[in-house]
Amino acid sequence: MALQDRLRSDVAEIEHDVVELRHQLHRHPEIGLDLPETQRAVLEALAGLPLEISTGSSCSSVTAVLRGTGGTAGSGGDAGPRPAVLLRGDMDALPVQEALGVDFASKIDGAMHACGHDLHTAMLVGAARLLSAHRDALAGDVVFMFQPGEEGWDGAGHMLAEGVLDAAGPRVQRAYGMHVVAGKLPRHQFTTRPGTLMAASDALLVTVRGAGGHGSAPHRAKDPVSVAAEMITALQTMVTRQFDIFDPVVITVGRFHAGTRRNIIPDEAVFEATVRSFSAAARDRVQVVSVQLCEAIAAAHGLQAEAQYNTEYPATMNDAAQTAFATSVVTDVFGDDRFTTMDGPEAGAEDFSRVLEQVPGCYLFLGACPDDDYDAAEDNHSPRAAFDDAVMTDGCILHANLAIRALQDLTNL
């Protein structure tokens, strides 16, 4: 039986277990870097496999190394160091109150796997099981990166600092990951693009300091609310007038706080914005001009502004050669009709970008909408975001094929 047929047969046998793991994780979502129950579930699911497993000290990560026995990569020696590739799945949930009526709905108030990381984790466990059963097809080693804290906690940065890229010995030479999508894509459809895939994500934090007073006499006070509101409007004008529309910047104010009562002018107003950019040049520029704009508007009204710009995640950049490779794997395994090239990058951000800064690789999206009308479906992060279990076997098989074929390519270099 050909390897592809064996992989399909094997994934059919483990499909129930993979789905059950996903449902278990979905019932018990955990947020941030400390995911003890999730980590325990992953370790239990990996038990008995021929893996070298370690856990993180700064977060609840799991790193598992599978030593391949195929090709010429058996033991190094005269053949040189064995190649290694990395597969990543993120594990954390979101602070969202679930509004789905599924029988495996979240049991944790205020927490939900609204971004599909429960699928990512289960698919990566499935891939570990498939590849463990076919070590003789691996001309090198595979590092499985089970990562907490993707949703704003820089879990990838923590795992990089603890050496995940060197877990197999020599540094991994290729890295791959994928993300399920609740809307936008048809079920079972893969997509990606070379170059910029997702935006850089930064934070703009602004405190406007004025002088409080009575709401009936604003001329006797220094109103920070109206000045902060002017800043917010001016930031939207700035991104359309100071930046190329073909290299855009997105600024969205998601938090605004001021005052205690409607007839009291407060001393200060605070707002926080997320800033998205797609190139290093735009990112460097917006870091400077957004702060200058806020400070200048405050000064023009006789107030003060403390504007702090915090860089967070870099843009997610797919290596062109590895994107072509991953695309060829998808079309060879699933057929040409299962892949669509993305027209442009997404403004969302992803801390797998830190891995792709150091290792050539590719990040892909997989449509997981349960409904045929995927355009009308609610997107990731919605309390009603829904994902079809049926796509998880696709993810398991693609992970396995990416590892097998990437190691073959590296061995033939």
- Give the SS3 label for residue 324: helix
For CATH 3.40.630.10, the residue range(s) in the chain are 3-198+315-411
Separation of alpha carbons 237 and 171, rounded Å: 45
Q: Which helix (H) or strand (E) holds 197?
A: strand 195-198
- Give the SS3 label for residue 269: strand
What is the pLDDT at residue 77? 44
CA geometry: angle 39, 43, 48, nearest 5 deg: 175
For CATH 3.30.70.360, the residue range(s) in the chain are 200-313
Residue 232: how many other CB atoms lie within 10 Å: 16
What is the pLDDT at residue 9? 86
Separation of alpha carbons 381 and 372, rounded Å: 20
CA geometry: angle 151, 354, 393, nearest 5 deg: 65
What is the pLDDT at residue 98? 94
Count of residues making up the chain: 413
Q: Which CATH architecture has domain 3-198+315-411?
A: 3-Layer(aba) Sandwich (3.40)
The answer to whether the CB of 68 falls within 8 A of the CB of 337 is no
Tokens of 320: 């062109």
The pTM score is 0.90
What is the pLDDT at residue 72? 60
Tokens of 142: 């595979």
CATH domain 200-313 topology: Alpha-Beta Plaits (3.30.70)
What is the identity of the amino acid at 227?
V
Separation of alpha carbons 171 and 173, rounded Å: 6
DSSP state of 244: -
Please give the chain's pLDDT, 413 residues, in tens. 588 888 888 889 999 999 999 999 999 999 999 999 999 999 999 999 999 999 999 999 999 999 999 876 444 445 568 999 999 999 999 999 999 889 999 999 999 999 999 999 999 999 999 999 999 999 999 999 999 999 989 999 999 999 999 999 999 999 999 999 999 899 999 999 999 999 999 999 999 999 999 999 999 999 999 999 999 999 999 999 999 999 999 999 999 999 999 999 999 999 999 999 999 999 999 999 999 999 999 999 999 999 999 999 999 999 999 999 999 999 999 999 999 999 999 999 999 999 999 999 999 999 999 988 888 888 999 999 999 999 999 999 999 999 999 999 999 87
What is the pLDDT at residue 76? 44
What is the pLDDT at residue 413? 72
Residue 285: how many other CB atoms lie within 10 Å: 16
